[in-house]
Every structure is written in structure tokens, then in C-alpha cells.
Amino acid sequence: MQLKAYAKVNLGLKIIGKRADGYHNIQSIFLPIDFYDSIKLALCSAGVEFTSNLPPYGRDNLCVKSAELFFAETHIKSGIKIGLEKHIWIGAGLGGGSSCAAQILLGMNELFDYPLKQEELLALGLKIGSDVPFFIRGVPALVEGRGEIITPLPHLPKPIWVALVYPNFPISTEWAYSKIGNYLTKEKWDFKILEQCFKMGDIRELACTLHNDFELVVFEKYPELKQIKEKLLDLGALGASVSGSGSCIYGIFEKIDNLELLFPQYKVRIVSSP
């Protein structure tokens, strides 16, 4: 079985506050984009055999954790070979690890003749990571709570062009959340406006309304990220933002020409939404 684990960008991200369980409640629109890791699955006699072109290897990889959790949940006595070819940048805020974990659960569920219903897969995915349930559903969605409250949204009336700029270093999501409490009272904004723009399919207004609370944290520590955002806007982006907690900065464009040449020191990829 061959699988594609697609990345996402956050069209806005609002931190509501810290929960009693240590997680944070959020509001965000997750949009799948045409940028993916490739996964091959094959049956074997026992255990989880895993290979990857990039670290982490072994049991530290979410692919392995997902496979082991699936076997533990279903009590299936078999084995799985996983071959991962990563393309999505690590620590970029694009959800690559969570997307791979979701595809492992979905792929194994199919290989073993659907022992788990979707709600069971979603609950299993949440044990692996907050973003995994979204990737199990795999459609544009309003994501709330710690990631477990997912409201599917209509597809945009036409695909949008997104320029991704990766500054060649990751940002730890755990670090970003540990710092966010110091910034939450500094700026108030209404997420509902952004949500309505998406539902109406108003790409221009949506792009102008983008806001991500993590920008206050990451721009202070990494000022070059703010410079990338400003350059994307100068180059004609309708809007630009950090995805997730970074480090990737993206811009929404109506037309993109040779943008890769304008950021020679960084990794750049031009993608579209579904």
C-alpha cells in the first residue's frame, strides 16, 4: 500500500488559554496543501519494521508509535513494514509528523479489514498528538479544543496558491506553547471574522485577516521570520503568516512567478490547496 501524508497550513490560530490538563485550547482553520510525505506499508510476520530517509528513527518516530498503538488497540497478531520518505520540513508547523501518524492508522485499518470505526481512529489519533484527528479526516476544518473538536468546512471555491518559506531551522511546539502565556493579553482579535471569510470563500479578505498568536512569540526570538513575512507581503502576497508555531512562513498569492529565486538562502515550495 502506498500512502500520501499531506501537510497543512493554519489559516489563523488563536490561543484561548491553558487547560487543567496542561494543554491549550485553540481556534484555527486547518487547510490541507499539496505537499506530502510518502509512505509504503506491507505486511510481515511480526513486529514493526521501520525505515526512513530522515530521523527520528525507531520508536521515537510517530509512524512506529502509531503502528504499535494500532496493534495494541486491535489485539491483531501480525506485523507491518513501514517505509517513510520525508519531504515535509521538520519543525515547520506544517503537521508532517501528525499527518504520517494519521496515514499509518488509516492504512493499517484498511489492510486489516477495518477493525476500527472512524471515531475509534480519532480517539486513537488524539493519544498520539493533538493534530492527528484532523489528518484522519483530511478535509479543511475548524479545529478547536486541543485539536479534538473538528468541524469540517466547505472547500474553497477555487484552489489558492501558497508559497512556503522554511528558514532551515525547526521550532519546538512545546517551547512555543511554554512561552505563549506571556503574550496572550497583548492583542485581542476576533477569530469569527476569519472563519466567516473562509466560509464565504472570500480569499482576499481571508488573507488580509490572517492572524496567528504564535507570531508574537517566534518573531521576538527569531526576527528573520518577521522579515520573511514582510518580504512576502512586499512581493504581492494577499496575506502572510506563520503556520502553527512555526518555523514555516507562508504567503497566499493570486499569481506566483519565480518566487523560489527570491529566497535563495531558504527552502521554498509553491503549493496549492485542494
> Which residue among 86, 131, 213, 229 is the active-site one?
131
What is d(CA 88, CA 121) in angstroms, rounded to the nearest whole number? 23
Percent of the chain with pLDDT over 70: 99
- Is the pLDDT at 187 greater than 70? The verdict is no
The predicted-structure confidence for 233-262, as pLDDT tens digits, reads as follows 999 999 999 999 999 999 999 888 777 778
Any idea which residue has 527569531 for its cell? 222
Across all residues in the chain, what is the average pLDDT? 94
> What confidence tens digit (pLDDT) does each residue in 193-209 have?
999 999 999 999 999 99
Q: Tell me, yes or no, if 231 is annotated catalytic.
A: no
pLDDT for position 256: 82
Do 237 and 88 touch, CB atoms closer than 8 A? Answer: no
What was the pLDDT predicted at 17?
A: 86
Active-site annotation holder among 8, 14, 86, 229: 8
pLDDT (0 to 100) of residue 109: 98
Q: Which of 98, 79, 78 is nearest to 90 (CA)?
A: 98
Report whether 238 contacts 253 (CB < 8 A): yes
pLDDT score at 163: 96
Q: Could you give all domains of the chain from N- to C-terminal order, each with its CATH number? A: 2-152 (3.30.230.10), 161-272 (3.30.70.890)
* 8 assigned to active site: yes
C-alpha cell at position 107: 492504512
